[in-house]
C-alpha cells in the first residue's frame, strides 16, 4: 500500500489526477472505475483542465461507476448519472457508449445487479478503481455489515450515510433509502485501487481503513489485502495516522 500525504484538497486532487492520467497514458484503452461524492470533484476538474491542454485523451477509455441511487432517474440532478455527466463525461471526449453506471430506475434489482456485474466482466475487468471513503468506512455503497458483499447488489443505506448525503437533497425525506453498488469482490478485482480522502471528518475512517482490523464493519479495511492500493489523502484526513 502506497500512501501519499498532501497538504490540502487541491494537492490531493492533482496527485490523484496525475495517477489516473498515468494509467491512461500507459493503457489508452483502459477501464477506469469511477466514484462520486464531493471528494473526486477536484480530480475531475483537474482532468478536464488537462484534457483542454491536450495532455490527456479519453477517446479509447471505458468507465464503470461504483454505484447509483435506486429510484432516481438520469435527469434527477442528484443521480450519479447526472453527477458524472456534469463533472466529467460532458466535458471530455469519453464516448457515451463507453461509460457505464448502474440503472437506478430498474425495478428488478436482481436483474440489474446481475446485468451490471456481467457488464464489468465483459469489459475484461477494471484497470484502476477510484474510491472515495464514507465517514463510516464505506466504499461505493458497501455499508458496514457482518459480511463482505461479493458482487453488485442492492443495499439499504445506513442512517449515517443518509445523514452525510442529505446535504445534497432538498430534505432528508428526499434521500433515497437504497442504492445499487459494486460489491467488495467487484472492487477488489480491480488491478489497481486509488483511494482518496480529504478533511478531518474522514480521519477516523482513514485510520481504521489503514491500520484497523480487517472487518466488514469497516468495509474499506479489506483494501489492506489488495496487492496494488494507493491512498492519496490530505494532512487533515491523515491526522490520526502516525506515518
Ligand X SMILES: N[C@@H]1[C@@H](O)[C@H](O)[C@@H](COP(=O)(O)O)O[C@@H]1O
Catalytically annotated residues = 67, 136, 138, 143
Check binding of 78 to ligand X (CB under 6 A): no
| One of 51, 81, 116, 141 touching ligand X (CB under 6 A) | 141
Residue with smaller CB distance to ligand X, 60 or 169: 169
Q: How far apart are CA 25 and CA 22, in angstroms?
A: 5
67: contact with ligand X by CB under 6 A: yes
Instruction: Rule CB under 6 A: say whether 155 interacts with ligand X.
Output: no
Asked if 137 touches ligand X (CB under 6 A), the answer is: no
Candidates 6, 13, 23, 39: give the one binding ligand X (CB under 6 A): 39
Runs of H (alpha helix) within the chain: 9-26, 41-52, 80-87, 109-122, 159-165, 184-188, 203-211
Binding span for ligand X by CB under 6 A among 48-56, 102-110, 130-138, 206-214: 130-138
Q: Give the one residue of 20, 66, 120, 184 binding ligand X; rule: CB under 6 A.
A: 66
* Position 143 contacts ligand X (CB under 6 A): no
What whole-number distance in Å separates Cα of residue 102 and Cα of residue 87? 17
Residue 241 phi/psi, 5° resolution? Answer: -100, 135
Number of residues that bind ligand X (CB under 6 A): 14
Angle at 166 between CA 94 and CA 113, to 5 degrees: 50
Q: Which of 35, 47, 220, 236 binds ligand X (CB under 6 A)?
A: 35
The answer to whether 149 contacts ligand X (rule: CB under 6 A) is: no
Q: Which span (11-19, 30-38, 44-52, 144-152) binds ligand X, by CB under 6 A?
A: 30-38
* Cβ pair 71, 176 in contact under 8 A: yes
- Percent helix, strand and coil across the chain, each to the nearest 5: 40, 20, 45
Distance CA 62, CA 69 (A): 21
Residues with Cβ < 8 Å from 38, sequence gap 6 or more?
A: none
In whole angstroms, the minimum distance from the beta carbon of 132 to ligand X comes to 3
Residues 163-182 that bind ligand X (CB under 6 A): 165
Q: Is 134 in the site for ligand X (CB under 6 A)?
A: yes
The answer to whether residue 186 forms part of the interface with ligand X (CB under 6 A) is: no
Q: Does 203 bind ligand X (CB under 6 A)?
A: no
The answer to whether residues 230 and 196 touch, using CB atoms and an 8 Å cutoff, is no
Strand spans (E) along 72-216: 99-100, 128-131, 153-156, 178-181, 192-197
132 and 76 Cβ atoms separated by less than 8 Å: no
Q: Which of 23, 99, 136, 161 binds ligand X (CB under 6 A)?
A: 161
Q: Which residues bind ligand X (CB under 6 A)?
A: 35-39, 66-67, 132-134, 140-141, 161, 165
Amino acid at each position: 500500500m502506497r500512501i501519499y500525504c498532501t497538504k490540502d484538497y487541491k494537492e490531493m486532487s492533482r496527485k490523484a489526477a496525475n495517477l489516473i492520467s498515468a494509467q491512461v497514458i500507459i493503457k489508452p484503452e483502459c477501464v477506469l472505475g469511477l466514484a462520486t461524492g464531493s471528494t473526486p470533484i477536484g480530480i475531475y476538474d483537474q482532468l478536464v483542465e488537462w484534457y483542454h491542454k491536450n495532455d490527456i485523451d479519453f477517446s479509447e477509455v471505458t468507465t464503470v461507476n461504483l454505484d447509483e441511487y435506486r429510484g432516481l432517474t438520469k435527469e434527477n440532478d442528484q443521480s450519479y448519472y447526472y453527477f458524472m455527466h456534469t463533472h466529467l463525461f460532458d466535458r471530455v471526449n469519453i464516448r457515451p457508449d463507453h461509460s457505464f453506471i448502474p440503472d437506478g430506475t430498474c425495478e428488478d434489482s436482481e436483474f440489474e445487479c446481475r446485468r451490471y456485474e456481467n457488464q464489468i466482466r465483459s469489459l475484461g475487468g477494471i484497470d484502476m478503481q477510484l474510491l472515495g471513503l464514507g465517514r463510516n468506512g464505506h466504499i461505493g455503497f458497501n455499508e458496514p455489515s457482518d459480511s463482505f458483499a461479493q458482487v453488485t447488489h442492492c443495499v439499504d443505506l445506513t442512517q449515517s450515510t443518509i445523514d452525510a448525503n442529505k446535504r445534497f437533497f432538498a430534505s432528508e425525506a428526499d434521500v433515497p433509502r437504497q442504492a445499487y453498488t459494486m460489491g467488495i469482490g467487484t472492487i477488489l478485482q480491480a488491478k489497481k485501487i486509488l483511494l482518496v480522502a480529504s478533511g478531518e471528518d474522514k480521519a477516523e475512517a482513514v485510520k481504521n481503513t489503514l491500520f484497523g482490523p480487517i472487518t466488514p464493519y469497516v468495509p474499506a479495511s479489506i483494501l489492506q489485502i489488495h496487492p496494488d492500493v494507493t491512498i492519496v489523502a490530505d494532512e487533515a484526513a491523515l491526522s490520526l495516522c502516525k506515518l
